[in-house]
Amino acid sequence: MKAFKIRVEPYGRKLWVVIGGDTKDVLRLLKKEGISKKERRKVDLSDCDGYTYMFDGLFTLLWLQKAPNNPYRKGILAHEIGHTVDFIMSYCNVTRDNDANEAFMYLTGWITQEIYKKLK
């Protein structure tokens, strides 16, 4: 299992990226991060290749079952990054429209770059 944090500025959010591990492994990380038992109960990684969830607005978990080392796995990462961006922008009351489209795309590209930097 590989896990790392990315500070998402200027939005003041944290992104936990976790690759590998199972539900129990991720729940241990979330407990260390101070996520309540009630919130941790919402995490179920069985039967999925990727998962994204925002906890209390300030912390987002992006989990991948396996590293993005082929087109299928890279597609899963792109899908989960899309959820991450939607959660962050929604929390900041930014809606997806023509005026904000560039902000969504910029954040998508930036998060993608940061994840791949950490995976090297």
Mean pLDDT within 67-74: 97
Q: Are 115 and 77 in contact (CB under 8 A)?
A: yes
Domains of the chain: which residue ranges? 2-119
Average pLDDT of 19-45?
92
Whole-number pLDDT of residue 97: 82
Does residue 89 register a pLDDT over 90?
yes
pLDDT of residue 58 exceeding 80: no
Q: Over 23-87, what HEC string results?
A: HHHHHHHHHHCCCCHHHHCCCCCCCCCEEEEEECCCEEEEEECCCCCCHHHHHHHHHHHHHHHHH
